[in-house]
Structure 1
């Protein structure tokens, strides 16, 4: 049976998901997930099935609930996309510093993890996918696996940054560091229809993701270690059951 533990670390609510048969004498892979680990929680029974059936190895999932995802997951301050709403705060660097220096050490000290970067992943959707990409630049020696789903590459100046241009915001300058990608793995996904009916810069979701993917190839990811998928989500309908779900992420 999968076990759920709640923790409060450095002012963040944390959900720790332990695999069936958790053994404190072993060392497990870990995956740090933004937005409280919602994407894992929604399919936790399937993850349990994959582990029990031997299709994936047991792992520990750490879901981190943001204090404010518009601040925690954005790399620099930028105007909001909607009028009369707060601007984006641009605190990703501070958030990732807390993950690496406060949350991860606590998890490694209190749970049976393998703390090596080769056994440590970070994952998220939309803004969570974006901040996972920035984790690969800021902490490439802490995480070696990255999962970025529908990442917000539309965010102001992000694509320019990934393409190697200097980004100047207020009194700060941001320059993409050179990272050795030899041991890194990246899973990149975007839906083929994402953003097409938006009347904001989000209309470029697919195009910007494709351009980012091209830059990741240039950064030196080995071909087997860079998975990029563009797919259309299909609706499966039964006569006696129709479920419509809307997840309102940026």
Structure 2
């Protein structure tokens, strides 16, 4: 479906897109979903009852990665490791700007994304308790040293709900770290489940780029039940 975009603005280089429910009532507080990469059409199932907020950074290889790392392929740009700054802008300036204009139900706020966007969201568990729900679809948990980081650190956001979905055939046909993507993902899932009791963890049979709409629909159905939308 095509969403009705109500507002666009840029904050610290991050393009923010807001889609309100068609029947939006300024006197009511609404749940909100913040989505890295800003592909809000994937969340069309939620559009009637949730404020959808897309987040598009200038450089996702920098802004969605927790520390610097070399590129996996020769000739590709390295990962910049500027996630801490990205989250500072998101949880401070962007969130405050949105909350001043629209009524948010702070007990029902989700933040997540796909691939590196999912990695970024899960990383936020270790630095912020702003969101009541964190989700990751095909999170890039193969990222160098991320498994070790998860094993060595305690979550700050232990009381939130977490949704994790990865594919069992992610990384197929690769010869670098991506070839072991499902193995890395399983280790991260286990780390999160040990510290966060309200964790949903699932592996589907797909590859990294497969069936994205189906995956987002499954997440949306789960969220509708969680939030009783």
Query: TM-score over 0.5 for the alignment?
Result: yes
Uncovered stretches (5+) of structure 1, i.e. residues with no partner: 52-57, 165-175, 235-243
For residue 101 of structure 2, what is the aligned residue in structure 1?
Answer: 110
For residue 42 of structure 2, what is the aligned residue in structure 1?
Answer: 42
For residue 168 of structure 1, what is the aligned residue in structure 2?
Answer: none
Larger RCO, structures 1/2 (Cα 8 Å, 6+ apart): 2
> How high is the TM-score relative to the length of structure 1?
0.78
Asked if the contact 2:69/2:79 (under 8 Å) is kept, the reply is: yes
* Inter-CA distance 2–196: structure 2 relative to 1 (3 Å threshold): closer
> How high is the TM-score relative to the length of structure 2?
0.84
Asked if the contact 1:72/1:92 (under 8 Å) is kept, the reply is: yes
Distance, in Å, in 2 between the alignment partners of 1:145 and 1:246 is 20
Higher-Rg structure is: 1
Shift of 1:84: 1.8
- Counting only pairs closer than 5 Å after superposition, residues 166-205 of structure 1 correspond to structure 2 as 176-179=153-156, 181=158, 183-205=159-181
Alignment match of 2:111 (pick from 102, 105, 122): 122
Distance, in Å, in 1 between the alignment partners of 2:56 and 2:3 is 20
Match of 1:213, SS state, is helix
Distance, in Å, in 1 between the alignment partners of 2:126 and 2:187 is 17
Asked if the contact 2:133/2:160 (under 8 Å) is kept, the reply is: yes
How large is the Cα RMSD of the aligned pairs? 2.2
* Inter-CA distance 218–43: structure 2 relative to 1 (3 Å threshold): closer
Shift of 1:35: 0.4
Distance, in Å, in 1 between the alignment partners of 2:148 and 2:200 is 22
Distance, in Å, in 2 between the alignment partners of 1:179 and 1:7 is 30
Alignment match of 1:137 (pick from 126, 131, 145): 126
Match of 1:205, SS state, is helix
For residue 203 of structure 2, what is the aligned residue in structure 1?
Answer: 230
Match of 1:132, SS state, is helix
* Inter-CA distance 178–128: structure 2 relative to 1 (3 Å threshold): closer
Shift of 1:232: 2.2
Distance, in Å, in 1 between the alignment partners of 2:140 and 2:92 is 25
Match of 1:121, SS state, is strand
Match of 1:77, SS state, is coil
For residue 241 of structure 1, what is the aligned residue in structure 2?
Answer: none
Summarize deviations over 1:60-101 as a string: whole Å, max 9, x none. 111011110000000000100111222110000000000011
Aligned pair count reads 209
Distance, in Å, in 1 between the alignment partners of 2:57 and 2:115 is 13
Is 1:214 aligned to residue 178 of structure 2?
A: no
Match of 1:130, SS state, is helix
Uncovered stretches (5+) of structure 2, i.e. residues with no partner: 214-229
Shift of 1:191: 1.3
Distance, in Å, in 1 between the alignment partners of 2:71 and 2:13 is 25
